[in-house]
Structure 1
Amino acid sequence: MTSSAPHPEHILVVDDDPRIRQMLVRYFEGESYRVTAVADGRSMREALQQRTIDAVLLDLVLGGGEDGLELAREIRGRSDVPIIMLTGRDDVVDRIVGLEIGADDYIAKPFHLREVLARLRTILRRRKPKPGAEAEARGADTLHFEGWRLDLGRRELHDAGGSPIELTTGEFDLLTVLARQPGHVFTRETLMDLTRGRSQEAFDRTIDAQISRLRKKIEKDPANPKLVKSVRGIGYVFTGRESV
């Protein structure tokens, strides 16, 4: 199969089951992705250091006593690369912890390959700058609030001093939805639909985890937020004032 893209997106698979690694490699290479598959955290670190990775498919239960959640935390501590968690444990607590760490999605085993592909494509598509992003960056597609600058074309957030703030795909999409409509109260279900779509099971703590991570990055005091406030029994509202 010939891809029209000069540089196919590179997927890193981290799973200790050789059958799953082989299955994912064959499938995604057949879809014109470049794939590196490893079995443990050491090999994962080497791959991330030596290659440009566009997304990570990470099993939460690895051999040798390694914890996939800890590996996800390690990845997120140094990169905003998308992380899709794969696990045979259908545990809501694991999902919540993973999302709080900063994972972008969660897929339970056994999974359909087409579903994994659809989730991956959605995340990668959201990360790509829009066509004409350079022009948009100078136009109206940039939001300013309380000294912050949210560049929707380049998908970048800068603080009052001009320093870039790394956001995951989910955090960026969530902030964009909220900041576009200051003063509007969004339910968790609406935020789920607007930022993640129907492909992922909706449960309240998913959005709560994303909001918690977002507050840690944009609020002076995350425990007493001034930009993204909770509305008891309903959801969240963005209260940042527009600035230039």
Structure 2
Amino acid sequence: MTLTILVAEDDPHTRMALAEVIGAEGFQVIEASDGQQAKNLFDNEPPDMACLDIMMPGISGYDLCRHFRKQSPTMPILFITAKAEEIDKVVGLELGGDDYIVKPFGTKEVVARIRAVARRCFPPKPESGSVPFSDAPFEMGDLEVFPREMRLRRDGETVALSRRELLILQTLASRAGEVVSRAELFRSAWEEDHFPNSRTIDQTISQLRKRIEQDPKNPSIIQTVYGVGYRFDPQTPATGNTEAGNLE
């Protein structure tokens, strides 16, 4: 599995134990020893899920949750903490936590809860291989896309598309003007037995941009919304996008 999980825990023994058991299940783990490091890791490259201690030096798990939620509204967040009072759980869940695990914890319980949250937040597509879009041609900026032909055209030039690239473009075009999260793009364009991985999506978008953007470093068709996902804005001129940066 390729789901990337951030583990933020200031106690080294607990952090190592969590990283070991989560990594043994096939997840990719990135570790943070305090709240500031966790924030820096998230801001540099958002993970797919986060497991947060609450009482950490510098920035608490509660404050991290607030920050993560502003940048990535759909990313699953689990609290793993010694704070066992009911009010602590209520605060954590109301801030946007998807689950709350109290220390000491059983390793099997942690893994089971992570998998449960992953299934809930990254559900498989109803039908593997189905394309929930019309075959009718559509436009994206100065591109004209022909789904039945698996290609697009610009100024007489033709570019062949893979099925995954076509699904990405169809997803963004169908949500024109809206931000589409990485998880949503993954559900639309990848097979159901894959877990979302932000780098996989970003690399695919980067390669697609090189083929369809007039200026891949200043994209106008596929715009990056940092920390959340991507957007196609029909109002953006073909000369490029100056609002949202490029992650690549």
TM-score by length of 1: 0.52
Q: Secondary structure at the match of 2:91?
A: helix
Partner of 2:63: 70
Q: Which amino acid aligns with 2:25?
A: E
Partner of 2:123: 128
CA distance in 1 between partners of 2:66 and 2:44 (Å): 19
Partner of 2:225: none
CA contact (8 A) 1:10 1:52 kept: no
Matched, 1:12 2:18: no
Partner of 1:39: 33
Q: Which amino acid aligns with 1:50?
A: N
Q: Secondary structure at the match of 1:21?
A: helix
% identical equivalent positions: 34
Partner of 1:207: none
In our comparison, the structure showing a higher alpha carbon Rg is 2
CA distance in 1 between partners of 2:110 and 2:99 (Å): 10
Cα deviations by residue, 1:15-62 (Å, 9 ceiling, x for unpaired): 100001111111122111111111122211221133341110000111
CA contact (8 A) 2:15 2:31 kept: yes
List 4+ stretches of structure 1 deviating above 6 A: none
Q: Which amino acid aligns with 1:75?
A: F
Which residue among 118, 125, 130 is the counterpart of 2:112? 118
CA contact (8 A) 1:9 1:54 kept: yes
Structure-2 change in CA distance of 1:83 and 1:125 (3 Å) = same
TM-score by length of 2: 0.51
Cα deviations by residue, 1:139-198 (Å, 9 ceiling, x for unpaired): 9xxxxxxxxxxxxxxxx9xxx9973587x9xxxxxxxxxxxxxxxxxxxxxxxxxxxxxx
CA distance in 1 between partners of 2:128 and 2:178 (Å): 19
**Greater helix fraction, Structure 1 or Structure 2:** 1
Q: RMSD across aligned C-alpha pairs, in angstroms?
A: 3.4
How many Å apart are 1:131 and its aligned residue?
4.8
Return 5+ residue gaps in structure 1 as ranges.
140-155, 169-244
> Which structure ranks higher in relative contact order (CA pairs < 8 Å, sequence separation ≥ 6)?
2
CA contact (8 A) 1:17 1:39 kept: yes
Structure-2 change in CA distance of 1:29 and 1:77 (3 Å) = same
